[in-house]
Amino acid sequence: MPMPADAIIALIKVGIPDAEIEMIDLAGDNDHWKAIITSESFRGLPRVRQHQKVYAALGDKMGGELHALALETKAP
């Protein structure tokens, strides 16, 4: 079952409260997403660590209910 954008945003916001998140439906199927996430907490972190923070916020949803998520992370 696809995971809607608002559910993904809510999970990320719990783990990264200051995140500004733009969701892009890559295939028009509400199942393949790109998330562009801007957070001050990413400042000074390598991209891998930034992505790890997002995956931690998504918890067990990543790889299960949410299986297709491209990430673009950046500091403001």
CATH number at residue 20: 3.30.300.90
- Residue 28, pLDDT score: 84
Query: Higher pLDDT residue, 43 or 65?
Result: 43
Please give the residue range of the domain that contains residue 56.
5-74
CB 4: neighbour CB atoms within 10 A? 14
How many helical (H) and strand (E) elements, i.e. helices and strands, does the chain have? 2, 3
- Which pTM value belongs to this model? 0.90
Q: Which two tokens stand for residue 24?
A: 């892009």
- What is the count of structural domains for the chain? 1
CB 58 within 8 A of CB 12: yes
**Beta strands across the sheet bearing 69-74:** 20-25, 33-38, 69-74
